[in-house]
Amino acid sequence: MSLAADFGVTLTQHVLGNQGHHPEARGQFSALLTQIGVAGKLISAQVRRAGLIEIWGATGDTNVQGESVQKLDQIANDTFIEVLRRSGCVAVMASEEMDDVVVVEPELAGDYVVAFDPLDGSSNIDASVSIGTIFAIYPRTSPRGEASAADLLRPGREMVGAGYIVYGSSTVLTYSAGETVDSFTLDPASGEFFLTRADIQMPQRTRVLSLNECNGPYWEPWVDAFLADIKGRNDAEKRRVTSRHIGSLVADFHRNLVKGGLFLYPVDKRTGRGKLRLLYECNPLAFLAEVAGGAATDGGRAILDVPVDTLHQRSGLVIGPSEDVQLAERLYRA
Ligand code: P6P
């Protein structure tokens, strides 16, 4: 009896299979993705125990965003940094939790640079609501020994990989290296991520609308017109669109990617600024959305084309099926 029939494709097998499409690959990208899987398992183990070992709740610190740092945030941040540092694949990394970049010592520095949000959705931690890690991967551009923030201050279009790990009813890692978007579910018994959704295509109809409606007073006028168009698709005959909003971008995005949904977090007209961070929230998810046949915009242009000037730069975000993202852009420009 063939053993192979007894279990699915693991993350490492899938990543190595992908590597086969790149004859010039030296294996660092594959090793990096595998190590990101290791970090995801370590963080997942902590998330699953948070309430039991009292690591939810705030540490009393505040991060560069001015948000109170939850203990699990700190653990996720430290875990991601240490695993990536030891991977030998990363030269410099940026984290939502760190004011400045972390430069890896030359003897361990590798060919890639990574930006990540170690634990997105922190305000949901002590309510046991889904949270997640988001990551973006670029090839380093700096010469050996000179890695710096400049390696990361580049448009999302230059990414070579991106993904997230959502710690929800199960722990799911989704990544893309540019050809397909694939999802893996962690099997707690074996500690392996197994392929559960291959070559995900984002459904082209918006069935789910996901946003914080209470921000309505702060929206620019085009947003109300946009929402009226989408909600107007529901009539006496049929409800075509429903609403789901978790408040953890990574969980809202994963549901929308799989079921066909649109998420938006428009800029605040009082400041002209968005809330979500471009480098490690909007860009990686925009990368996945485009590979899966969807789109992402800040209203004026594709998220992946927005210049990245600072590590913690914020952006407005509309992400989901292409035709509704294009509708948002038309209304934004009108
Ligand atoms: P608001 C979580 O803190 C986060 O960064 C995203 O995951 C989420 O979509 C957004 O902020 C929620 O923000 O203003 O609706 O609470």
User: Could you report the per-residue pLDDT of 269-322, keeping only the tens digit for each?
Assistant: 999 999 999 999 999 999 999 999 999 999 999 999 999 999 999 999 999 999
pLDDT digits (tens, 9 = 90+) for 246-267: 999 999 999 999 999 999 999 9
pLDDT band at 36 (very low <50, low <70, confident <90, very high): very high
Q: Quick check: CB of 212 below 6 Å from ligand 1?
A: yes
Whether residue 105 is predicted with pLDDT greater than 80 in this model: the reply is yes
- The pLDDT, as a whole number, for residue 54 is 65
- Strand-strand pairing, 242-243 and 208-210: parallel
Token look-up 């997105």 returns: 120
Q: Which atom of ligand 1 is nearest to the CA of 276?
A: 5
Whether residue 22 is predicted with pLDDT greater than 80 in this model: the reply is no
Whether residue 197 is predicted with pLDDT greater than 80 in this model: the reply is yes
Q: Which helix (H) or strand (E) holds 252?
A: helix 249-259
- Strand-strand pairing, 161-167 and 112-120: unpaired
Token look-up 């990096």 returns: 32
Calculate the alpha carbon distances from 250 to 45, 184, 222, 280 in Å.
18, 15, 25, 11
Give the Å distance between the CA of 212 and the centre of ligand 1. Answer: 8
- The pLDDT, as a whole number, for residue 241 is 98
Q: Give domain limits for the chain.
A: 3-197, 208-333
Using CA atoms of 132, 138, 144, 146 in order, give the dihedral in degrees to the nearest 10: -70
- % of the chain beyond a pLDDT of 70: 96
The residues near 107 (Cβ < 8 Å, ≥ 6 apart) are: none
Q: How many helices, marked H, and strands, marked E, lie in the chain?
A: 7, 17
- Asked whether the CA dihedral 79, 278, 101, 113 is positive or negative, the reply is positive
* CATH superfamily of this structure's domain 3-197: Fructose-1,6-Bisphosphatase, subunit A, domain 1 (3.30.540.10)
C-alpha 324/C-alpha 255 separation (Å) is 17
Model pTM score: 0.95
Pocket test for ligand 1, best of 119, 133, 265 (most atoms within 8 A of CB): 265
Calculate the alpha carbon distances from 246 to 99, 121, 123 in Å.
27, 9, 11
| Nearest Cα residue to 160 out of 127, 203, 115, 198 | 115
Give the Å distance between the CA of 22 and the centre of ligand 1. Answer: 37
The interaxial angle of helices 283-291 and 249-259, nearest 10 deg, is: 10
Terminus-to-terminus CA distance in the chain, angstroms? 64
Rounded-to-5 percentages of helix, strand, coil across the chain = 35, 25, 40
- The pLDDT, as a whole number, for residue 71 is 85
- The pLDDT, as a whole number, for residue 29 is 95
Calculate the alpha carbon distances from 313 to 15, 118, 211, 251, 316 in Å.
31, 17, 20, 22, 11
Pocket test for ligand 1, best of 120, 264, 317 (most atoms within 8 A of CB): 120
Give the Å distance between the CA of 230 and the centre of ligand 1. Answer: 22
| Nearest Cα residue to 285 out of 311, 261, 310 | 261
Q: Quick check: CB of 120 below 6 Å from ligand 1?
A: yes
- The pLDDT, as a whole number, for residue 62 is 81
Mean pLDDT computed over 111-138: 94
Mean pLDDT of the chain: 93
pLDDT digits (tens, 9 = 90+) for 133-152: 999 999 999 998 899 999 99
Q: What is the DSSP letter of 305?
A: G
CATH match of 208-333 with 3.40.50.720? no
- Give buried/exposed letters for 155-164 (b at 16+ CB in 10 A, else e): bbeebbbbbb
Q: Rounded to 5 degrees, what angle do the CA atoms 12, 87, 149 make?
A: 120
Cα 126 → chain centroid: 21
pLDDT band at 219 (very low <50, low <70, confident <90, very high): very high
- The pLDDT, as a whole number, for residue 30 is 94
C-alpha 278/C-alpha 275 separation (Å) is 9
Query: Where is average pLDDT lowest: 61-75, 110-124, 148-162?
Result: 61-75
Q: Which atom of ligand 1 is nearest to the CA of 122?
A: 3
Q: What is the DSSP letter of 279?
A: I
pLDDT band at 93 (very low <50, low <70, confident <90, very high): very high
Q: Quick check: CB of 247 below 6 Å from ligand 1?
A: yes
- Strand-strand pairing, 261-265 and 208-210: parallel
- The pLDDT, as a whole number, for residue 2 is 54
- % of the chain beyond a pLDDT of 90: 84
Q: Which of 1-10, 48-57, 102-111 has the highest mean pLDDT?
A: 102-111
